[in-house]
């Protein structure tokens, strides 16, 4: 029997099985929805403590002006500039109650003077750890972001910041300069965004998005996002970037979960392998497992207990943000993976889901 190249590839797809395929359905996260003058973005993973689910997210107020405001060092540049980290709780994962800011940006001269944003959360040994992007610069030019950590014995507040950042940007010689404008520059490890923390193999794996691979590419072409991982023996560090970084070649905000002794990752909108789900048996060497569409943006999954029951159990539901063109204010919404028929999702039925919420 003669077989085309595509059919030979299909055999490999079939060998991997179809449990890695899914669709995504979107619905309101009441209480975190659209609000005039308010940005809510970048929800963390969701943890359950007692009767409540908790989520942490970036919140900022008022319009932003992009880099046209660069002459005014204080102007809000991005929706995640001049932001704080807020917390909300819910009993059903659908209706959310805002508790308030739990980590606020620092004061003048501190490593998080300018903004704190894009948090993730982990419960470990009875304490709650937030990791987040922190920026010290007077002018937010998209460089020099660090990863900060704050710790509390309650999920609802009392978070105390560590004195030192967990990961700091590396200024790679001529790549950084006063001319840097709206593009994150630098070799890998130059800037560190969107941290996500997992307790894995007895260590702490902090994945993060890093913008910029090499100066030539960045100068010529625009942004390039990949993920790295930094590993620590203690949850508070020190975190050592893996020698294998970057561990992905694609993906915007990090979204990872544990499965069957390895780490699974949803690689969303950026890069040549955008819109895929990948898996690394060792947390480092990721392979493409499935192709997905209409993926959550800046999503955080519910950290359920049964992540080994199926490949996508750890992705089952969560929150993400809505940051579409034309939407002036960002809001947070809920996603649920659609696993009604993994094979059908692999093969296109039900057809493409929509990130639109319709009536809210």
Which residues are at the interface with its own copies (CB under 8 A)? 2-7, 9-10, 13, 21, 217, 220-226, 243-250, 252, 269-275, 278, 280, 284-287, 290-291, 293, 324-326, 341, 343-344, 346-349, 351-352, 354, 358
| Whether the bond into 30 is cis, omega within 30 of 0 | no
Distances (CA, A) of 101 to 42, 79, 132, 160, 165: 14, 16, 14, 13, 20
CB-nearer residue toward its own copies: 28 or 155: 28
In angstroms and rounded to an integer, the radius of gyration of the C-alpha atoms of the chain is 20
Q: How far apart are CA 150 and CA 90, in angstroms?
A: 22
The answer to whether 313 and 339 are in contact (CB under 8 A) is no
CB-nearer residue toward its own copies: 5 or 107: 5
Question: In the β-sheet with 146-152, what is the strand arrangement from edge to edge?
Answer: 115-124, 127-135, 146-152, 160-161
CB-nearer residue toward its own copies: 202 or 326: 326
Nearest distance from C-beta of residue 223 to its own copies, angstroms: 5
Helix, coil or strand: residue 68: helix
Nearest distance from C-beta of residue 41 to its own copies, angstroms: 15
Nearest distance from C-beta of residue 125 to its own copies, angstroms: 30
The answer to whether 337 and 317 are in contact (CB under 8 A) is yes
CB-nearer residue toward its own copies: 95 or 281: 281
Nearest distance from C-beta of residue 331 to its own copies, angstroms: 17
Tell me the torsion sign for CA atoms 48, 49, 52, 55. negative
CB-nearer residue toward its own copies: 90 or 268: 268
CB-nearer residue toward its own copies: 85 or 211: 211
Q: How far apart are CA 110 and CA 162, in angstroms?
A: 12
Secondary structure in 3-state letters for 136-175: CCCCCCCCCCEEEEEEECECCECCEECCCCCECCCCCHHH
């Amino acid at each position: 029997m003669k077989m085309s190249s595509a059919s030979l590839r299909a055999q490999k797809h079939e060998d991997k099985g179809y449990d890695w395929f899914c669709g995504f359905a979107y619905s309101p996260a009441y209480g975190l929805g659209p609000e005039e003058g308010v940005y809510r973005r970048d929800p963390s993973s969701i943890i359950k403590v007692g009767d409540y689910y908790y989520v942490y997210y970036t919140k900022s107020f008022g319009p932003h002006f992009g880099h046209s405001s660069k002459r005014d060092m204080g102007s809000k540049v991005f929706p995640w500039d001049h932001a704080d980290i807020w917390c909300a709780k819910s009993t059903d994962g659908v209706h959310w109650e805002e508790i308030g800011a739990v980590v606020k940006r620092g004061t003048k001269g501190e490593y998080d003077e300018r903004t704190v944003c894009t948090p993730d959360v982990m419960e470990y040994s009875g304490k709650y750890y937030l990791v987040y992007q922190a920026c010290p610069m007077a002018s937010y030019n998209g460089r020099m972001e660090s990863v900060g950590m704050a710790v509390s014995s309650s999920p609802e507040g009392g978070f105390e910041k560590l004195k030192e950042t967990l990961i700091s940007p590396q200024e790679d010689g001529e790549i950084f300069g006063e001319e840097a404008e709206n593009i994150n520059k630098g070799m890998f490890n130059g800037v560190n965004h969107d941290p996500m923390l997992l307790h894995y193999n007895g260590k702490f794996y902090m994945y993060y998005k890093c913008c910029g691979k090499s100066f030539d590419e960045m100068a010529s072409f625009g942004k390039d996002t990949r993920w790295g991982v930094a590993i620590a023996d203690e949850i508070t560090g020190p975190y050592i970037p893996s020698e294998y970084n970057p561990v992905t070649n694609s993906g915007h905000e990090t979204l990872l979960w544990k499965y069957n002794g390895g780490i699974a990752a949803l690689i969303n909108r950026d890069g040549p392998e955008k819109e895929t789900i990948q898996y690394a048996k060792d947390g480092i060497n990721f392979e493409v497992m499935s192709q997905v569409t209409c993926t959550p943006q800046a999503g955080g999954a519910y950290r359920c207990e049964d992540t080994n029951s199926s490949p996508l159990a750890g992705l089952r539901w969560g929150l993400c943000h809505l940051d579409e063109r034309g939407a002036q204010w960002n809001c947070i919404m809920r996603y649920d993976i659609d696993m009604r028929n993994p094979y059908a999702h692999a093969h296109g039925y039900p057809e493409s889901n929509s990130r639109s919420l319709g009536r809210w």
